[in-house]
Amino acid sequence: MRKSIRLVLSVMAGLLILLAGAGIWFVLSPGSSDYGTFLNMRGYQIGALNRYDGEEKSINRYFDNYKLDLPLLYKLMFKAENLSLFLKSFRAEKIDTASINQLEIGNGTENFFDFTFMIRPDYRYNAPLFHGDALKALPGVTSALYMDFYSLNDDVDPERFFSVSRDKLEKALELARPYWKTEGFGELTPHLDPWKSPYRLEMVEPEKGTEEEKRAYFETVYACFVLYSEAYLEALDNCSRDDDPSVEAIREREVKDFVSILYEKDMAVKMGKMIFPEEDFDRYFLEGFWGTGPLD
């Protein structure tokens, strides 16, 4: 009798879980369209890197046509069975690693959750690194653009570095003003506070905007990204090389220490470890995106 009751209760619990899951599946869905913005950002960045003679790294081949089968929680979140990864990493004369990362919801949908990017200078150049994320709204995720230039030692002076292109940064900050994140600015990345710049940009999509207002927001995201990218690449192109070979090992260690903090504390890493096969995450994050290889 007791076994029968337990069986009935187990079946009922299972049905309730399935029903709750089904309800979540229909209620939780990806946010508004990005109107092709994230794909356009990719195209712009690849073109910009090509203008600076960027060459693709060999790691790109490993992640060609790479699919991520999602665990249940993320199936509900993305309303999809899997994600398709776009990862391209480049190097150039003054760039050790420049990477583009996107997660496409499904396969061949051109429905991207994000556009994540990074440009890290060659170790011979003592310059900030450029990193940012453009995100589309999902349950628990705000549609936003985050960009900053991180100085990894006290000798990096963002004001001096951007002396030739500061006007572009100021124009982008002015464009972003209507969408500025006034509450909780920088709160998602307190672990990066020691390296942040005066030019940190955080803007969020209006929650209840009209179609025209949402489109205007994403147009501004694209414009701000292009201005920041142009400003950075122009400044790096103007940067002088340090010919002291001893500094390269020091700067490599600075980069690895910075990435170690991200690896330990960043929410994107925690999410990535849940959706990537264990044997591929470090190859993706450390070798593919950041270009550091092992952190030890």
- Show pLDDT as tens, one digit a residue, over the chain (296 residues): 544 444 334 434 443 443 344 344 334 444 569 999 999 999 999 999 999 999 999 999 999 999 999 999 899 989 999 999 999 999 999 999 999 999 999 999 999 999 999 999 999 999 999 999 999 988 778 899 999 999 999 999 999 999 999 999 999 999 999 999 988 999 999 999 999 999 999 999 998 889 999 999 999 999 999 999 999 999 999 999 998 989 999 999 999 999 999 999 999 999 999 999 999 999 999 999 999 999 98
Task: Provide the Cα torsion 32, 117, 164, 218; round to 10°.
Answer: -10
Residue 32, pLDDT score: 65
138, 74 Cβ separation under 8 angstroms:
no
Nearest by Cα to 50 from 102, 104, 88: 88
Residue 145, pLDDT score: 98
Predicted TM-score (pTM) above 0.85: yes
Q: What is the rounded CA–CA span in Å between residue 150 and residue 128?
A: 5
Mind giving me the DSSP string for the chain? -HHHHHHHHHHHHHHHHHHHHHHHHHH----S--TTHHHHHHHHHHHHHHHTT-EE-THHHHTTTEEEEPPHHHHHHHTSSEEEEEEEEEEETTEEEEEEEEEEESSS---BSEEEEEEEE-TTS---EEEEEEE--BTTB--EEEEEEE--STT--HHHHTTTTHHHHHHHHHHHGGGB--SSTTTT-GGGGGG--TT-EEEE--TT--HHHHHHHHHHHHHHHHHHHHHHHHHHHTPPPP--THHHHHHHHHHHHHHHHHHHH-HHHHHHHHHS-HHHHHIIIIIIIS------
Residue located via tokens 């955080």: 202
Residue 29, pLDDT score: 45
Nearest by Cα to 165 from 235, 227, 245: 235
Which region, left, alpha or beta, applies to residue 214 given φ > 0 means left and ψ of -120 to 50 means alpha?
alpha
Nearest by Cα to 217 from 275, 175, 280: 175
What is the distance in angstroms between the CA of the first residue and the CA of the last residue of the chain?
59
